[in-house]
Chains A and B, each alone.
Chain A
Amino acid sequence: MIGHIIKKLNDVTAELSGWLITTIMFLLVFDALSRVFGKAVHGVVEVGVFALVASVYLGLSKCEEEQSHLRVEYFFSFLEGRARKLSEVIDYLLAIPIIALAFYASFKSALFSFETGEALSGTVALPIFPAKITVVVGLSLYLVQLLSNLYLILTRSNP
């Protein structure tokens, strides 16, 4: 049941991530056209950067679910049975604390931005904290997926 909910959430965020890239596409085309017609609109590129940040972090959990994060698999491919399982568990025991720290650090950074009203120093003073919140959300989902994968490995019988 929980696994199903996590999967659904991952599907939604991955799709959202894709639509955010499409948003960047339309924003930049609009920006190029507005420049051509001599009526440049300020803040378009900045909004595009926010969408970029969100798209990167919201896609992480689906990547983890599909095990598509890159790694050197050469030595791992020689392992079998319990050795393989142990190696996988070690990988997750290294990944979970550092991603948990990343989550904590990004949360602190987002909170700081919110409290201080941190904004872009450009032509349009857009507040930064909404973009930073997407980092926190993306990393929290990534962390949940890492924990879920670890649980699956621990409860799996040896191949």
Chain B
Amino acid sequence: MISPTLAGFLGILVLLLLLGKGVHIAVDFFLVGFLGITTLVGIESALSFFGETLYYGIASPTYSALPLFILMGSFAAMGSFAEKAFEGIHDLTKGLPGSLCIASTFGCAVFGAVSGSSLATAALFGKIILPEMKRFKYDMSFSMGSIAASGGLAAMIPPSTLFIVYAIFTDQSIGKLFMAGVLPGILTALSFSLFIVFRVKFNPSLAPKKIEDSNLVENPAVSKFASIKKMWGVAFLSAVVLGGIYTGALTPNEAGAVGALVALGMGLLEGRIRSISVIRKALREAALNTSMILLIMVAALFFSRFLALSRLPTFISMVITGTSLPRVVILGGILIIWFLLGMIMIPTGIMALTLPIFYPIIIKLGYDPIWFGVIIVKLSEIAAITPPVGLNVYALKGVAGKDVSLDMAFKGVWPFVCCELFIMALLIAFPQISLWLPGLMGR
């Protein structure tokens, strides 16, 4: 009979092998969890655990936020909110060096306020902007990098599905996590834009200047107003959702429900959602994404029960916090592991694998759980664009056409990864950037 802790170690090892092999993530968690629990407490108990987790693992109102925000994002995508956000921002940024890239950055940030999926945002904006970038002879590597990285803003700017997943695993407030992501999201968008302006100033061939046909020159006040007006829908929807949560008028679940209903209503009123088939398409899309993500969550929960039975998280936590290493070094080690895992795994899977072990350590070291959630989501943004499993880049390549290679896209993301790392350093050095808004909520 092997010791429970050793079983836990072996379980993680087998899990990593299966993940690397390419077996479906949920299947990996279920398989190792079941074998592990069977080893520790026997097959009858394992079956009982299994049956209970399959139902009670998700039978909680907390989980409702996830499908509702996914649905809101689907309705927003079908309602052409992304196109309007892009058009509005682009009208305002015409004239700046690399204006299409800047418009994609802020467009993604604005659309991120109504959609929680960075993957969907990157693909959607790729579809809208890449043809324009090709037309104006933008450097494709630079363009792909800017859109893929900007798509990641949807993960940080609320409502973010990753914050909901983190909240479920750590039992933190979804509302506070949403608010914590606002300033880091805006800072990241600003850093991307500044980087684009400077890069294009020093190397104008990246974004040839040909788009200064703006009517802003003729009547700046009126045109700016018209540009902002284009974005009223996105602004209204995000105000309803975030305002509702911030003021406490709505719970995050209710905000998701109201947001989805408002997005549907606006799509219908403006004629963008014209038929029942469009609604059905949005529903099917939301249903499949919900099933896919929540199955991984149930499976991960089952696996984490095995880990809890093995007492491995407690063991690792005791060993690490018992060392005389400064807490910042331990935090650095955890972030490096996350960064490396992010290169090969999707964020939900990494959260499921690492949070049962890392989260108690972070809390024991005295770090703020909301702040740590922001750092984890920031790392997820980076994971979404770094090779070999940079999902945003793959999604973008899918809509980019055959004349753009994956290598070209990955080459373009590295400068933006540097921007991300710079912002992350700021977030670590100044936790108040993340904690200021949630702090106001608590008063």
Contacts and interface: CB of A to CB of B under 8 A. Distances in A.
Contacts of B292: 59, 63, 68-70
Interface in A80-112: 87, 90-91, 94-95, 98-99, 101-102, 104-109
Interface string A112-141: 000000000000000010011001000100
B371 interface: no
A37 interface: no
A105 B288 contact: no
B52 interface: yes
Residue from B18, B20, B253 having most chain A Cβ neighbours under 10 A? B253
Given A98-B31, A98-B34, A19 B283 contact: yes
B257 to A, nearest CB: 4
A56 B60 contact: no
A71 interface: yes
A101 B64 contact: no
Contact of A24 (B23, B58, B67): B67
Given A25-B261, A48-B61, A91-B23, A105 B283 contact: no
Interface stretch (A1-9, A28-36, A150-158): A28-36
Interface in B260-313: 260-261, 280, 282-284, 286-288, 290-292, 294-296, 298
Contacts of B131: none
Contacts of A56: 58, 290-291, 294-295, 298
B19 interface: yes
Nearest to A95: B27
Contacts of A147: none
Contact of A59 (B31, B58, B288, B344): B288
A101 B261 CA distance: 38
Contacts of A109: 48, 51-52, 54-55
Contacts of B348: 70
Contacts of A24: 64, 67-68, 257
B344 A74 contact: yes
Interface in B92-149: none
Given A15-B284, A74-B389, A94-B31, A29 B254 contact: yes
A75 B284 contact: no
A49 B291 contact: no
A144 interface: no
Contacts of B22: 71-76, 87, 91
Contact of B388 (A20, A59, A74): A74
B377 interface: no
B54 A63 contact: no
Contacts of A50: 59
Contacts of A18: 280, 282-284, 286-287
Interface residues of B, number: 60
A55 interface: yes
B59 A53 contact: yes
B286 A49 contact: no
B71 A21 contact: yes
Given A24-B67, A52-B63, A87-B22, A70 B296 contact: yes
B31 A62 contact: no
B149 to A, nearest CB: 20
B190 interface: no
Interface string B43-55: 0000110111011
Nearest to B388: A74
B24 interface: yes
A145 interface: no
B197 interface: no
A21 B284 CA distance: 10
Contacts of B296: 70
B23 A95 contact: yes
A94 B68 contact: no
Interface of A: 14-15, 17-22, 24-29, 31-32, 45, 48-50, 52-53, 55-60, 62-63, 66, 68-76, 87, 90-91, 94-95, 98-99, 101-102, 104-109, 128, 131-132, 135, 139
Given A53-B59, A56-B298, A59-B288, 16 more contacts: A19-B283, A24-B257, A25-B71, A25-B261, A29-B257, A55-B67, A56-B295, A63-B288, A70-B24, A74-B22, A76-B21, A87-B22, A94-B31, A98-B31, A102-B54, A104-B47
19 contacts: A14-B287, A17-B288, A17-B291, A18-B283, A24-B68, A25-B260, A28-B68, A52-B58, A53-B58, A59-B290, A59-B291, A60-B291, A62-B291, A71-B23, A74-B389, A75-B21, A76-B21, A105-B51, A106-B55
Interface of B: 18-27, 30-31, 34, 47-48, 50-52, 54-55, 58-61, 63-64, 67-68, 70-71, 250-251, 253-254, 256-258, 260-261, 280, 282-284, 286-288, 290-292, 294-296, 298, 344-346, 348-349, 388-389
A-B complex: 7 closest residue pairs judged by Cβ atoms? A18-B283, A59-B291, A109-B51, A28-B257, A105-B51, A17-B287, A76-B22
